[in-house]
Amino acid sequence: MQTFELYGEAWIFYIALGIALLALIGFKMRAVSWNIRFAILSLLAVGAFTPDTVANAETYAPLILTALLKAETDGSSAIVSGLVKLVIIWGIVFTGALAARHFWLAKKQTP
């Protein structure tokens, strides 16, 4: 895959800034219940960090951005397709995290 020279560094910088932003949002939402806070933060994280291939290139970009770029040529069906992918991935992440938290708390409470 041929990419631009600083492709890896750009992704590292993007992910670091995204995690910092999620931490700030989580800090501001500390009064909200854990389930609602995690739902919002995981939705933002999935939207920001799910990679997808860029049309007419061999690089990756966040799925939400590639869906918007594909909408210029394919119309609104590209946006709907991207949102469906994001909701499916978010559902898997959210359900898995809730299940892991449930089992961790259940194990913690048993003697």
DSSP designation for 54: P
Per-residue confidence (pLDDT) for residue 55, from 0 to 100: 77
Per-residue confidence (pLDDT) for residue 96, from 0 to 100: 95
Share of the chain above pLDDT 70, in %: 96
Mean pLDDT of all residues in the chain?
89
Buried b (16+ CB within 10 A) or exposed e, 42-71: bebbbbbbbebeeeeeeebbbbbebbebbb
pLDDT in tens, 45-74: 998 999 888 877 778 888 888 888 888 888
Per-residue confidence (pLDDT) for residue 72, from 0 to 100: 86
- For 21-26, what is the mean pLDDT? 96
Domain segments of the chain as ranges: 7-109
- For 19-43, what is the mean pLDDT? 94
Per-residue confidence (pLDDT) for residue 1, from 0 to 100: 54
The tokens describing 24, both together, are 């700030």
